[in-house]
Structure 1
């Protein structure tokens, strides 16, 4: 695409917004879908189905926008894919696809869910090799370690989301379905390994380069969300029907999920404290940015993980914590959603004003 065509697209209504579309915007689908799952588990079906509708609409619209951006702003898209601070946010596409598929499976749309799980598996495989390669093999003169951030944890979340998808898929296949057990255990294991690796890199970044208040963005909450989704994926694997791979690791996985939940719970006060440090002590403005959805999803996932493990392991206190977390996550979801809608309205208003001014000048 030549430069004149690119300029022409930028001149179109909302062209600049499309050009700057966040690679991690599918976190909107992740956060909304997991809230829908949470309300489904707790019996609030009206709220759950309303959120499901929003998640489906967001999923379709975002795919259209991402495809349009890739076709129209190729240079900007490739720049994001090679940017250590943005590239791993594309894994929200994988996680959003899988979590939405799980909710649709609960709703009875097994055929659609199976398609989404297959798409999620394909994207997980392609992105899992393409994105890290692009990031690590591309050199722009800036140290990669200094640009490691919370979005890197989404790689682990995507792996765990695929594991959950496979456990939801298993009851719909007759026989052993060994390949489902293999993919479920492999993606869960890879997700755990990636979490450890990313945590080491993030710790090294903080030790050697530090993190300013402005740099401590909402995706760091995914450090907690990645543990919470590992709890859900692990407990689902433990509950799976027998396959050789699942049987080989069932005891091991069963022994980790409570530990993972405890670690996720331990991280929450730290993340809240970091938010106070960022916004209260250092006066970083609290305004809407798309990455806020990367904070909504971990909160919703922690609620679902708590309810799930509380029921599976007969831990009523943990289940009660899950109910409280679901209420908090609901409030946060609503605030972020309203802020997003407000931003869209303001953008549309500015666009209409600019169009009126241009028309008057011409």
Structure 2
């Protein structure tokens, strides 16, 4: 008996690479940034879109694991696979901001299970001169630190904050290691994921600010020296992130890359993360001027998200129009 062919949409979706999770990361962090800036409705809308994308990619992740084990193992060893962890933690942080703590805890547990497996697979296959996706090792690790610190503050639970602090420092170590593997020519030649070089510092800064705000007289997580070091490192990370922002923007101006590429979602994510980190650090380090900068950066991220989303829709329409399955449906309709 002949097996029915997959629908055009299903066939197109099945071709999504692991790095497609960057779209969920980007949409989720834009939701977080909009929430921090006070735009609740827009934040809710973007979170719904992020959740829909996460559910679709999660279903594809499980189907490949069950039906295409060899392909799953191959793709799990690519840096883009770590977007599964990062996207999960970002959505978890968005839920935590809405006091949906049970969902956030479930996502933290899921991300914690996935993280060591994917991290070992990816890092063991690093090579010289890698694209910006090499920094996803840091992003995924710091994502766990962000979500752990956020839940520690929301639930006044010290045991979540301390592992989050360890992950925060470990993520910085991974960033330095990834920096030696990064191909610096990507600043001018990259297709979009080179922006993660700055985004990794942004999420590290966000993790630092969340660790600072998690402390309280009730928990007494860090002494005065610890808090001072953490505050200094957080501010330094934010400054370095903004420096990367300027360098990467200059690279885009010198050599514009205007065509759509899936990796452009990895450009939106650092933009949104920088906005979120700036707004979060404003309160954590008592620097009110950062709030004004954060509001500007939020709208930059939203504008770029809209442009990339328009490119994604156009790309999808072209792919569906040229799909053999869709052509077969059209041919039968003309008979």
Same fold by TM-score greater than 0.5 = yes
The answer to whether 1:267 aligns with 2:214 is no
Aligned match of 1:250: 227
Aligned match of 2:170: 190
Q: Give CA-to-partner distance per residue, 1:223-250, whole Å, 9 cap, x none.
A: 1111111111001112223668744843
Structure 1 gaps, min length 5: 137-143
1:60 to 48, 55, 65: 55
The answer to whether 1:166 aligns with 2:148 is yes
Aligned match of 2:15: 20
Supply the RMSD in Å over aligned alpha carbons. Answer: 2.7
- SS of the residue corresponding to residue 108 of structure 1 reads coil
Q: Could you tell me how far 1:361 is from its partner in structure 2? A: 11
CA contact 1:240–1:246 (8 Å) conserved in 2 = no
Q: Distance in 1 between matches of 2:328 and 2:240?
A: 52
CA contact 1:185–1:245 (8 Å) conserved in 2 = no
CA separation of 1:72 and 1:15: change in aligned 2, threshold 3 A: farther
Q: Which moved more, 1:293-302 or 1:177-186?
A: 177-186
The answer to whether 1:199 aligns with 2:179 is yes
- SS of the residue corresponding to residue 200 of structure 1 reads helix
Compute the TM-score of the two structures, normalised by the length of structure 2. 0.88
CA contact 1:97–1:120 (8 Å) conserved in 2 = yes
CA contact 1:309–1:318 (8 Å) conserved in 2 = yes
Q: Distance in 2 between matches of 1:181 and 1:334?
A: 35
Structure 2 gaps, min length 5: none
Aligned match of 2:101: 110
The answer to whether 1:296 aligns with 2:268 is yes
Q: Give CA-to-partner distance per residue, 1:11-34, whole Å, 9 cap, x none.
A: 763565345311111111111111
Q: Could you tell me how far 1:10 is from its partner in structure 2? A: 8.1
Of structures 1 and 2, the one with the larger relative CO (CA 8 A, separation 6+) is: 2
Q: Distance in 1 between matches of 2:288 and 2:76?
A: 44
Aligned match of 2:118: 127
CA contact 1:181–1:246 (8 Å) conserved in 2 = no
- SS of the residue corresponding to residue 145 of structure 1 reads coil
CA contact 1:19–1:73 (8 Å) conserved in 2 = no
Q: Could you tell me how far 1:355 is from its partner in structure 2? A: 1.5
Equivalent residues in 2 for 1:210-221 (5 A)? 214=189, 216-221=190-195
